[in-house]
Amino acid sequence: MNLRSAFVMGSALLVGAVTSADAEELRYAVGYPPGAAAIDAAESAAKIIANASGGELTVKVYTSALLSFGEMEGGIRDGIADIGYMVTPYFPKDFPRTNLLNDMSMQLSNVGADVNKIAGMAYGGAMMEYIILNCPDCLAEYKAQNMVFTGVGPTASYHLLCNQPVTSAEALKGKRLRAGAGQWNRWAVALGASPVQITGQESLEAMKQGIIDCTVLSTVTALKDFQLINAVTDITLGVPGGVFAATPATTVNADVWKGLDTKKRSAFLRGAAYMSAAIPFIDHSRETAVVEEAAGKGIKTHEPEADLKAATASFLAQDASTVAELYSKAFGVANAPDMMAAFRPLLEKWVGLVNGIASVEDLAALYEQEIYSKIDFENYGN
């Protein structure tokens, strides 16, 4: 039996008739606007949870109208939502270990020569296995905020999207970049560019007005979600690399979690596995079509020149110690070097595991097999 069959069969076996009095409905705040891919994935996860629980546990998905990403921590903690799609860099002091793991994702390029097409799927698997099964201190950060960690949904690889060709280290110097999280800001500075602190949603107008020359994002997010297809002229693939993985996409209010019996917890984690798989798989699977659409509009794609690759590799060789020192001094993560050393072999493992994955269901089943099946449903999160 393949992984997809096992996943589907496992869900189907739990379906049964339940009276409305037995059913419990949870509110899921996703934070994206209507029509976003994450909303569709959340709706699919909700169906899996309902089926796996035999209708005893249902989930109603809410868009950004309920909670924005900036409001998500307080909203989950205080019970405005039962489940929420977290973006932990909004709350750096509360989730430093999750953010540390996210802040080293450019190291993916040191794991394999060609990881761009599987980066989000691999990084998500490694990050979830580390946090859930190997990092009690990580889980304690969520517990302190009255939350239970149940998964992440990373993006696809980050590339350089510009309004002019930027393929060499020399061409990057002096460019103004919307670079987002810490590692990409540090890369930009190290290579002589100037990071500009704006949100991804502001990138389109900023590029049109000449405030930025480039943005560092996944192609799907940049070109489609933020509509930069109307401003970008050139894409340099593979640099800076890395993924955005500080996205605990199905974080649960701890009081709600404690009220769920083991059957409902098991059912919920089936949905969490699907959500964690859907976000990166869909992002990766849409890349080819989006780049082709961009080409149809005259947008050119490039490979980075040797000097840009070399400069990026030199930056990465130094940045690991920078990350460890930053999180140790600024956020009190005294064991940051040990965390990074323990995470590296898991990342190598997951780069191998996700090769050949052909569907969201297969990826969700792999996450179930390698991570979720090893959770003690009765005691996890208590």
pLDDT classification of 353: cutoffs 50, 70, 90: very high
For residue 14, what pLDDT is reported? 39
Higher pLDDT, 300 or 11: 300
**Per-residue confidence (pLDDT) for residue 17, from 0 to 100:** 39
Max Cα-Cα span within the chain? 67
Alpha-helical (H) ranges within the chain are 3-12, 37-52, 72-77, 96-102, 119-134, 136-144, 169-172, 182-190, 203-208, 219-220, 254-258, 262-296, 306-331, 336-353, 360-370
Query: Would you call the peptide bond into 337 cis, given omega within 30 degrees of 0 as the criterion?
Result: no
The predicted-structure confidence for 97-136, as pLDDT tens digits, reads as follows: 999 999 999 999 888 657 888 999 999 999 999 999 999 9
Per-residue pLDDT, 9: 39
The pLDDT, as a whole number, for residue 271 is 98
Span 189-198, pLDDT tens digits: 999 999 998 8
Predicted pLDDT at 252: 98
Task: Please compute the mean of the pLDDT values over residues 247-264 and round it to a whole number.
Answer: 97
**250 vs 23, which has greater pLDDT?**
250
Q: What is the value of pTM for the model shown? A: 0.91
For residue 5, pLDDT over 50 is answered with no
Share of the chain above pLDDT 90, in %: 86
User: pLDDT tens digit string along 285-316?
Assistant: 999 899 999 999 999 999 999 999 999 999 99
- Residue 15: pLDDT band with limits 50, 70, 90: very low
Between 137-151, 190-204, 338-352, the lowest mean confidence (pLDDT) is in: 190-204
CB atoms near residue 165 (< 10 Å): 13
Q: Which string of b and e fits 85-124 if b means at least 16 CB within 10 Å?
A: bbbbbbbeebbbbbbbbbbbbbbbbbbbeebbebbbbbbb
- The span from the CA of 81 to the CA of 356, in Å, is 36
Q: What interhelical angle do 3-12 and 360-370 show, nearest 10?
A: 80
Is residue 369 very low, low, confident or very high in pLDDT (cuts 50, 70, 90)? very high
* CA nearest neighbour of 2 among 267, 375, 357, 281: 357
For residue 109, the model assigns a pLDDT of 86
Instruction: Please name the helix (run of DSSP H) or strand (run of DSSP E) that holds residue 20, with its range, or none.
Output: none
Closest Cα partner for 214 from 244, 189, 236? Answer: 236
C-alpha 35, offset from chain centre: 19
Whole-number Å distance between alpha carbons of 269 and 274: 8
Neighbours of 216 (CB within 10 A): 29
Task: Of 356, 376, 350, 352, give the one whose Cα is nearest residue 152.
Answer: 350
User: Helices 136-144 and 119-134: crossing angle, nearest 10°?
Assistant: 80
Compute the radius of gyration of the chain from its Cα atoms. Answer: 20
Average pLDDT in the 161-184 region? 94
Strand-pair partners of 84: 29, 251
The CATH code for residues 159-242+299-317 is: 3.40.190.10
The per-residue pLDDT for 113 is: 58
Quote the pLDDT of residue 116: 87
351 pLDDT above the threshold of 80:
yes
Q: What is the pLDDT of residues 53-75, one digit of tens each?
A: 999 999 999 999 999 999 999 99
List the structure tokens of 94.
């509360």
Mean of pLDDT values over 339-368: 96
Please determine, for residue 251, whether its predicted confidence score (pLDDT) is greater than 60: yes
Phi, psi of 103 (to 5 degrees): -80, 5
Residues above pLDDT 70, as percent of the chain: 94
What mean pLDDT do residues 255-261 have?
A: 97
Position with higher pLDDT, 199 vs 31? 31
Mean pLDDT of the 351-373 span? 96
